[in-house]
């Protein structure tokens, strides 16, 4: 319920002509506020705990408005700041309706061009804000460790140098989504390690290119799993080392089999399918932003399990306006590749002689 009891009582007491009048007012306000950027700021005023970014305990007071945003004064720092400080709304010109539509499109795995068309902004602008949101989502529930029975598997995605400048490009780009399975797993594939425990706690980590090594498994799972847990994996040797070192029980399901006793890898396979669907719907993703997108798949799964379907868009909206993004717009373009490009180039020229 969004409305408070007092408001409901007031409406209840109105006579029919007053209700008609109120309805007109509400209709016009709904339209006006949906298409206004300032509505986002009104939301912030209601939802945000405001404090000085230097120190939460600093003494602050309200200090007028600037471009529609509530301004504050910190007595300790002797500085003023606005409510949009550090939030995704700081330089955003999106209206309430545009931002909500963006989040709906993200939830529905819409590709950039479709989202851009629905919101009425450029593809570049959609790309930049999406990546900044995805980047910030890594912090959501990130301190939860996986425990109990944990299914782990790897997924391999063809490398894509989309968005990389020409001079850094190691080779002529080929068609997106081409999945070269004939020669097995090569350095031309990016490895993603996915782990899900019996409580639906989920981890999706992009760890490099080529087949999953002990080092890559270590990189993905180290300090993320409670000791004495059980890992259920395929028959890859790289997991044996990791489990011995970290005091974990290991159940390995041989190729061709689906379960051993009650142990399966069905749940982790479901996530793999989700990742495939996502990449397909998005029409291919650049390798450098793969982790960003994986953050979103993980986040989407959390909200899908914890929030009623009809309330998801609103919940995502409130969460988004409150997040503190670490990534500035210009930094979106300097995201590192998840593997060493020079090593990749060497591997590629050795293999193809180019």
Q: Which residues bind Zn ion (CB under 5 A)?
A: 52, 54, 58, 74, 76-77
Q: How far apart are CA 49 and CA 31, in angstroms?
A: 28
Q: Output the smallest distance, CB 15 to Zn ion, in A.
A: 51
Q: Output the smallest distance, CB 63 to Zn ion, in A.
A: 13
77 vs 315, which CB is nearer to Zn ion?
Answer: 77
Q: Output the smallest distance, CB 51 to Zn ion, in A.
A: 8
72 vs 239, which CB is nearer to Zn ion?
Answer: 72
Beta-carbon contacts of residue 333 (< 8 Å; ≥ 6 apart): 163
38 vs 60, which CB is nearer to Zn ion?
Answer: 60
* Cα of 131 vs its chain's centroid, Å: 8
Does residue 331 come out as left (phi exceeding 0), alpha (psi in the -120 to 50 range) or beta?
alpha
Cα torsion 138, 144, 147, 150 to 10°: value is -10
Q: CB of 274 within 8 A of CB of 268?
A: no
74 vs 126, which CB is nearer to Zn ion?
Answer: 74
Q: Output the smallest distance, CB 60 to Zn ion, in A.
A: 7
Return the sign of the alpha-carbon dihedral for residues 212, 217, 220, 226: positive
Q: CB of 192 within 8 A of CB of 155?
A: yes
73 vs 348, which CB is nearer to Zn ion?
Answer: 73
How far is residue 209 from each of residues 11, 15, 96, 158, 280, measured CA to CA in Å?
Answer: 62, 69, 40, 9, 20
Return the sign of the alpha-carbon dihedral for residues 333, 334, 336, 337: positive
Contacts 24+ apart (CB under 8 A), 76-81: 76/52, 77/52, 81/52, 81/53
19 vs 324, which CB is nearer to Zn ion?
Answer: 324
77 vs 312, which CB is nearer to Zn ion?
Answer: 77
Residue 149: closest CA among 229, 80, 267:
229
Q: Output the smallest distance, CB 71 to Zn ion, in A.
A: 14
Contacts 24+ apart (CB under 8 A), 52-60: 52/76, 52/77, 52/81, 53/81, 53/85, 53/86
Q: Output the smallest distance, CB 79 to Zn ion, in A.
A: 7
Q: Output the smallest distance, CB 54 to Zn ion, in A.
A: 4
76 vs 179, which CB is nearer to Zn ion?
Answer: 76
Rg for the chain (alpha carbons), in Å?
Answer: 24
Q: Output the smallest distance, CB 159 to Zn ion, in A.
A: 46
């Amino acid at each position: 319920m969004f409305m408070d009891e007092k408001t409901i009582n007031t409406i209840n007491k109105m006579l029919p002509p007053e209700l008609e009048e109120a309805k007109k007012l509400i209709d016009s306000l709904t339209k006006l506020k949906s298409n206004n950027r300032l509505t986002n700021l009104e939301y912030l005023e209601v939802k945000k705990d405001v404090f000085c970014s230097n120190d939460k305990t600093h003494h602050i007071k309200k200090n007028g408005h600037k471009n529609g945003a509530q301004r504050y004064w910190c007595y300790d720092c002797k500085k003023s700041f606005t409510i949009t400080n550090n939030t995704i709304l700081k330089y955003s010109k999106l209206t309430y309706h545009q931002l909500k539509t963006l989040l709906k499109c993200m939830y529905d795995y819409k590709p950039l061009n479709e989202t851009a068309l629905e919101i009425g902004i450029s593809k570049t602008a959609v790309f930049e804000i999406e990546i900044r949101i995805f980047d910030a989502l890594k912090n959501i529930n990130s301190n939860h460790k996986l425990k109990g029975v944990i299914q782990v598997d790897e997924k391999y995605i063809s490398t894509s140098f989309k968005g990389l400048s020409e001079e850094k490009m190691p080779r002529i780009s080929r068609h997106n989504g081409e999945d070269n399975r004939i020669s097995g797993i090569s350095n031309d594939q990016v490895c993603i390690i996915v782990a899900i425990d019996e409580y639906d706690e989920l981890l999706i980590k992009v760890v490099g290119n080529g087949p999953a090594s002990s080092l890559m498994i270590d990189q993905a799972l180290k300090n993320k799993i409670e000791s004495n847990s059980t890992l259920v994996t395929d028959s890859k040797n790289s997991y044996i080392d990791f489990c011995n070192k970290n005091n974990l029980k290991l159940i390995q399901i041989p190729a061709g089999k689906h379960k051993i006793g009650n142990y399966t890898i069905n749940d982790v396979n479901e996530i793999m399918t989700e990742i495939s669907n996502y990449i397909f719907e998005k029409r291919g993703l650049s390798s450098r932003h793969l982790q960003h997108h994986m953050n979103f798949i993980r986040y989407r799964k959390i909200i899908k399990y914890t929030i009623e379907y009809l309330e998801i868009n609103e919940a995502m909206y409130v969460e988004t306006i409150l997040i503190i993004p670490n990534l500035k717009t210009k930094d979106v373009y300097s995201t590192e590749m998840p593997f060493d490009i020079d090593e990749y180039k060497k591997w590629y020229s050795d293999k193809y002689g180019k």
